Amino acid sequence: MPIVTGSDTAKTRRELSAGGERLAYYSIPAATEAGLGDFSRLPAALKVVLENMLRFEDGGFTVSVEDIRAFAQWAQDGGRSDREIAYRPARVLMQDFTGVPAVVDLAAMRDGIKELGGDAQRINPLNPVDLVIDHSVMVDEFGNPRAFQRNVDLEYERNMERYQFLKWGQGAFNNFRVVPPGTGICHQVNLEYLAQTVWTDTDQTGATIAYPDTLVGTDSHTTMVNGLAVLGWGVGGIEAEAAMLGQPISMLIPEVVGFKVTGALREGVTATDLVLKVVKMLRDHKVVGKFVEFYGSGLDNMPLADRATIANMAPEYGATCGFFPVDDETLRYLRQTGRTEQRIALVEAYAKANGFWRGADYEPVYTSTLHLDLGDVVPAISGPKRPQDHVALDVAAQTFKDYIIGLRPAPSVPKDQKYNMTEEGGSPAPSQAEIPGDEHSGEQSRGRVEGQSYRLRDGSVVIAAITSCTNTSNPYVLMAAGLVAKKANELGLTRKPWVKTSLAPGSQVVEEYLRAAGLQEHLDALGFNLVGFGCTTCIGNSGPLAPEISKSINDNDLVAVSVLSGNRNFEGRISPDVRANYLASPPLVVAYAIAGDMNIDITREPIGQTPEGPDVYLRDIWPTSREVAELVEKIVTREMFQAKYADVFKGDERWQAVETTDSETYDWPPASTYIQNPPYFRGMSRDAGVITDIDGARVLAILGDMITTDHISPAGSFKPTSPAGRYLTERQVAPADFNSYGSRRGNHEVMMRGTFANIRIKNEMLDGVEGGYTKGPDGEQTSIYDAAMEWQQRGTPLVIIGGVEYGAGSSRDWAAKGTNLLGVKAVIAESFERIHRSNLVGMGVIPFEFTNGDTRKSLGLTGDEVISIHGLADDFRPLKIVPATIRRADGSEQTIQLKARVDTEVEIVYLKNGGVLHYVLRNLAKAG
């Protein structure tokens, strides 16, 4: 809620008129007039944060005049500042994978505060919270008209306990709304409906205040909404819970990188091609922890859907956010998606009055700048295992072949060999595998071809998925995909039979406009039937491959390929059967489903043949930019959005039939394998503790560079022989009912068993072993979970050793929670990605960085060392350099210096309390 902060900032309060209404607001130009500094050339993204400073004050973390003056100094100092500020977003956005454990924590805090003698009603979100259930649908059924209904049925069967719990939360907590399953992906629902660009609220006097719409979300791709000039980014569930409970986000005034865009995209180039280029450029520029703001005349040629695509992938280029200022295109999109005319008028008036408007002369001060002429962007894909691995489409096939050569002693497939659809007998070479046809079944959804056999090889595309929040609601690339399908279908082309195809849009509006354009029938003909509205393949919910295809891949050690229109392609994420994963535009996904093979150069070679025999090339089925634009303008209407979001919180009959309890605290079902009361707050005292030195710690794992939260946090499916699988089996859960790790994030017993258990993670303590293994106390190989439990029984603290960019990727709070529950007290790495570092601190785990050029390799660490870190108990301050003693197995010792990546004084307070939620809980208990 806006609060006047005193005489200096009170002078900045002004009124404006918009849509027939007068509203108060805090004026940045007025702050200059009041002598607080010259803010005229600040980037719009930073002005949003400055406005937050003008508007807020709270005991304990006050906004001071010096904080406000620091923004003017930022511009004078070349876009840099070491000033720590307390920032308060307007609202919080969640999805169910990360949201369920957050609601579990809130429920546990209600139990905890009662144990401390406090009032359970003190545990309520103070800021609006929206949770969108979008991560639970899985692609079990595909390629047929019943796919959508069957996947919905399975989703409810698997997740009823979770949905009952979320409905309880919706009734028990104030300021908490749930968007039911099947509505869409949270970021698209946010972009199309929830976000307002300019928010309004009432202050203590009853006056209506206008201010920028801002948020944090429990998903890293919360950044998508920055395309609509809404400042938001992903945080871990821990930090989001603190924000919703009234705690400000402590942060340094960020650096802002200006990304100047000029020109226009060439014919045949898509928004996906553009964003993959942007990801590459910004990764190379090193923007971790920074804001990126896009500006320049090229934005005049960039639809908002394309901007949202770029903003969505900010985590992939490493930035906190990728922000687009308000301009005419912002207003056009707000109108098209059904926002009220009064809101649109307010956005325009506010942006122009407060300096947020991008006009022709918009040229702020930036920390650094890049430039891209849109005409230089070429068709591309990214892979095989990182979003920043940009590959121009015309060299994609050769690059893949080079990748295979690097994996194998010799090329397994001659470069001139054509893909062979065959019914021949004989034994395939090790790099190929023959899949027999099933004469009794013609089910396309199971990857079979009636009476026909075919061969897989390195490079066979076994998954082609139009999926994720990044692309699947951008009408320009979706219409393009539909047009590719239409042209291909009319020529008699279809997908290759070994390709698992799926269409999982981020919004129900997509289904409406594809059908209205007459394109869905053509997508269906190629196997891209609707499988659900939500996150699927991009988060590992790709569902199983046909058993014979999976067996062939694994028995023959084939490098199978997925092509998806998503934002993540990390190792082990998409499917346990697929080793090479490529990000591509939706129309390219359709094209690769037809080609069926990454070895084919689809820019030069035929991607298929008509029934009559002539070759068909990609150029024959690729639509023109004009075709796409005219179709979007004709078909996509304001009324579509208004109709689809009219009852967005109501849900269908299935959701309405979900039964739950009506109680202040949650009645935890003791037999539930989905929802359990976590141990974080049991036995808490009312007073905070102290930070202590770490003595005699053992190494649980030594990990390499770019270890993502996918490697750390449990995700995807798991086997019965894994610790999590054994836990469920012991509780009579059949493997067919395991569901995914993500769906079980509300049960800490499952999740801690899956931490560091990714099938592709490599612990350098072991020689060439993949998966969640380490050395136990006896020196023998065992699971990381079992080793950690044995060390805990002995009372031995643990550390994790890592390389550069430790914790990259999704904002998975379980990457920190699991680390904590395994008994890890510190993570020592060369560098950290922003969200995971914050989450570690929020769970009481201290992140440290090597200094003086030391690395795990230069120190020759093997995992047999005993590590002690001192200097924590006395005079511990942000970024303190502390000594660490390494005692090796031969008895020798070495002392090195580590930098504590505890960046702010607030984080030190959190660590003294054992974590941010412990801190909040103690304060609320003391307040009554």
Domains of the chain: 7-86 (no CATH), 380-409+429-623 (3.30.499.10), 694-712+799-926 (3.20.19.10), 714-754 (no CATH)
- Model confidence band, residue 210 (pLDDT cutoffs 50, 70, 90): very high
**pLDDT above 90 coverage of the chain, percent:** 70
Is there a contact between 705 and 695 (Cβ–Cβ < 8 Å)?
no
Strand 432-435, strand 368-373: pairing: unpaired
Task: Give the model's confidence band at 417: pLDDT under 50 very low, under 70 low, under 90 confident, else very high.
Answer: very low
145 vs 143: CA distance, rounded Å: 7
Choose between 699 and 814: higher pLDDT: 699
- Whether the per-residue pLDDT at 410 is higher than 60: the answer is no
User: Distance between CA atoms of 447 and 77, rounded to whole angstroms?
Assistant: 60
Task: With a cut of 60, say whether residue 17 has pLDDT above it.
Answer: yes
Q: Which two tokens stand for residue 841?
A: 């601190």
Q: What is the mean pLDDT of residues 387-403?
A: 93
Residue 811: pLDDT band (50, 70, 90) is: low
List, for residues 312-347, the tens digit of each pLDDT value. 999 889 899 999 999 999 999 999 999 999 999 999
* pLDDT over 90 (residue 415): no
Angle (CA) 718-719-722 rounded to 5° is: 95
pLDDT given at position 199: 95
**What is the per-residue DSSP string for 238-277?**
HHHHHHHTTPPEEEEPPPEEEEEEES-PPTT--HHHHHHH
Quickly state the pLDDT bin for 241 (edges 50, 70, 90). Answer: confident
* Burial class of residue 721 in the structure, from the number of CB atoms within 10 Å of its CB (0-12 exposed, 13-18 middle, 19+ buried): exposed
Alpha helix ranges (H) inside 681-833 = 709-712, 723-730, 748-754, 784-793, 814-821
| pLDDT at residue 277 is higher than 90 | yes
| Percent of the chain clearing pLDDT 70 (strictly above) | 93
How far apart CA 444 and CA 398 sit, in angstroms, is 30
Residue 611 has pLDDT above 80, yes or no: yes
Annotate 734-754 with b (16+ C-beta within 10 A) or e (fewer): eeeebbbbbbbbbbbbbbbbb
Position with higher pLDDT, 540 vs 788 = 788
Which pLDDT value is given to residue 433? 61
pLDDT value, residue 4: 39
Which of 808, 612, 606 lies closest to 704 in space, CA to CA?
808
pLDDT tens for 548-595 read 999 999 999 999 999 999 887 777 788 889 999 999 999 999 999 999
pTM: 0.82
Q: Write down the mean pLDDT value for the chain.
A: 89
Instruction: For residues 637-660, give the mean pLDDT.
Output: 92
Paired sense of beta strands 21-26 and 13-18, if any = antiparallel
Mean pLDDT, residues 357-377 taken together = 96
| Least confident piece of the model among 209-218, 362-371, 528-537, 862-871 | 528-537
- Using the structure block, give the residue that is written with the tokens 């068709």: 379
- pLDDT exceeds cutoff 60 at 116: yes
pLDDT at residue 431 tops 80: no
Residue 9: per-residue pLDDT: 64
> What was the pLDDT predicted at 776?
97
Q: Please, which pLDDT band fits residue 796 given cuts at 50, 70 and 90?
A: very high
Of the ranges 152-166, 450-464, 509-523, 710-724, the best mean pLDDT one:
509-523
Q: Mean per-residue pLDDT for 405-416?
A: 59
Give me the pLDDT at residue 809, please: 74
Mean pLDDT of 789-807: 97
Tell me the C-alpha distance between 815 and 677, whole Å: 18
pLDDT, tens digit (0-9, with 9 covering 90-100), for 495-504: 999 999 999 9
Please tell me the predicted confidence (pLDDT) of residue 728.
Answer: 95
Supply angle C-alpha 292, 294, 298, rounded to 5.
160
Burial class (CB in 10 A: 0-12, 13-18, 19+), 341: exposed
- CB under 8 Å to 671, separation ≥6 — which residues? 731
Task: Supply the DSSP symbol for 192.
Answer: I
Q: What average pLDDT score do residues 725-742 get? A: 90
pLDDT for res 6: 46
- pLDDT at residue number 835: 77
Tell me the mean pLDDT in the region 597-623.
Answer: 95
- Is the separation of the CB atoms in 19 and 341 below 8 Å? yes
Predicted confidence band of residue 111 (pLDDT cuts 50, 70, 90): very high
